[in-house]
Amino acid sequence: MKLIFLLGLLPLAVLAMSTADRKLPAVRYDNFRIYKVYIENHLQLVEFQKIEKHTQLHILNEIAGTGRSYDVIVGPLLHRVWERTLDFLSIAYKVIVDDLQKLLDESTVDKDTESAMEWESYHSLEVIYDWLDQECAAHDYLECKVIGKSYEGRNIKSIKLSKREGNKAILLEGNIHAMEWISSATVTYILNQLINSKDPEIQRLSEEYDWIVVPMVNPDGFVYTHEVERLWRKNRRPNGHTNVTGDCYGIDMNRNFDYHWGGAGWNIDDPCDHWFGGETPNTEVEILALQDFVSSFADGYIRSYMAFHAYGQYVLLPYGHSNTEFPPNYDQMMRIAAAFAEGAVEPYGSPFTYGASGLLNYVVSGAAKDWAYGVKNIPFTCTVELRDKGTFGFFLPSNQITEVGVEVTAGLVALVNKAADEGIFS
């Protein structure tokens, strides 16, 4: 089809997939649009998959079936031909971002003016790590560790808050996907509340539970999103494969955990795609460091594992690898997730949907929450997909960081209290 041939000229994925030299100028998206397309039936899905397979479009979501919408980035020279293609296929669409670069500029970190940690702006890895170190130095109930090194040699840091002997622990994990900046921003917001808030309920939670936080699982990818390619998702290890654009880099580390690894997921076996899960499980040093760290604690100590991602406003429970198989305590987990949703909606009216990720979102294998539940026997695990529901998607403006932190903290308080009622911490 001539239209699809023309779409193949789009250069975006060439930049997104194979850019390896961090000295190159940052990739820009001036006048690039984000289209939300609605796939209603199987015929449209087949044609949409053909477009994805044979062109250089950047589709931001895994293609998971019909009755769903997908966000697609299209360059300025191809707006008309892309719209003609969708019209030809009777696929409904709307433009949700007219100039992606303008949106990105609104939340770009200015290293010349950046100094102290706060939650009105996105920050560099250096500022985030400096803040962790400062808080550890200031409070004797905090313990900072380097739990491992990334492929490029950056520290993977953890911080443990423990004010009382004999507590059970809750682990919060952030930024396993590089482009999801709101993840580490939210995790550090929660940690700051636990340390510095005067709210008596939050301080009670900081007394009665230990909190283990790994705010940056993917430091290499995160730095890459700041310096070269804002849309990068994976880590930065060369994966040994090439395509027409050159060497392919990275593994989607939330597809690399050794629990039902490789069984399901869109393009998890394509080494040059955003969702490549690796040749085998547990190939990435960052994942091994995280797993070793979790395993270093006594069995039964960590009672909840929460991974923070963007976007969609979900609380996703095990399992991801199936939409027909559910955990033995699924009903209990649903009650706890419902408490989070009820708490989180209160501050600003943000609704969260909850349920098994394979049922609600899409079937995918090798995720952290499933490994934590299925291998480490942690009785409540989940992935929290943060704001929003598709207006800004992965590029949430920084002026919403504090609101996200407020609503998620409210949800977390309700979740922990409900989990305690359910005996999770017994």
Q: Find the largest Cα–Cα distance for the chain.
A: 68
Distance, CA of 189 to CA of 402 (rounded, Å): 8
Q: Report the candidate in 342, 243, 257 with the shortest Cα–Cα distance to residue 292.
A: 257
Helix (H, G, I), strand (E, B) or coil at 85: helix
Contact criterion met (CB below 8 Å) for 143 and 160 = yes
Distances (CA, A) of 222 to 7, 124, 227, 230, 251: 29, 8, 9, 9, 14
Distance, CA of 73 to CA of 119 (rounded, Å): 28
Distance, CA of 242 to CA of 44 (rounded, Å): 30
Distances (CA, A) of 346 to 334, 339, 409: 19, 11, 11
E strands in 204-328 = 210-214, 238-243, 246-249, 302-310, 314-317
Catalytic residue among 229, 284, 286, 385: 385
286 catalytic residue (yes or no): no
Q: Report the candidate in 4, 9, 13 with the shortest Cα–Cα distance to residue 245.
A: 13
Contact criterion met (CB below 8 Å) for 91 and 44 = yes
Which helix H or strand E contains 190, and what residues bound it? Answer: helix 181-196
Cα angle: 212, vertex 213, 219; to 5 degrees: 145
Contact criterion met (CB below 8 Å) for 262 and 251 = no
Contact criterion met (CB below 8 Å) for 247 and 20 = yes
Distance, CA of 120 to CA of 182 (rounded, Å): 11
Distance, CA of 254 to CA of 176 (rounded, Å): 7
The residues annotated with a catalytic role in the active site are 385
